Amino acid sequence: MIDLSIYTVFLLPAGLNLVVILLLWLYYSNRTEGLEKPVAEGRLYRCSQCGYVYIETFGRPGTECPRCGAYNDAIKR
Ligand SMILES: [Zn+2]
């Protein structure tokens, strides 16, 4: 019984804290990854023909829509 009380008083809260920290770390790492993806380097384009939105990473002043091939200028961010 002594061992059980030591376990519940010290080890169990410590284990729960580790689990909580691990879950928080996973949550924030996933959230920051999700935020970084749309903010990837490149210009944002919206096709004037079909409305398709895409990111071109080559930094050209204009590019062709990957869906319909129309030429588009970058949107100001
Ligand atoms: Zn298009």
32 and 16, same structural domain?
Answer: yes
pLDDT profile of the chain (77 residues), mean per 10:
73 86 90 59 86 82 88 74
Distance 14 CA to ligand 1 centre (A): 55
9 and 25, same structural domain?
Answer: yes
19 and 34, same structural domain?
Answer: yes
Which range of residues forms the domain containing residue 2? 1-39
Distance 56 CA to ligand 1 centre (A): 13
pLDDT at 11: 80
Q: What is the pTM of this model?
A: 0.41
**Number of folded domains that form the chain:** 2
pLDDT at 50: 96
pLDDT at 77: 53
Residue 45, CA distances (Å) to 8, 10, 74 in order = 58, 56, 5
Query: Counting beta carbons within 10 angstroms of the beta carbon of residue 63, is it exposed (0 to 12), middle (13 to 18) or buried (19 or more)?
Result: buried
47 and 15, same structural domain?
Answer: no
Distance 73 CA to ligand 1 centre (A): 12
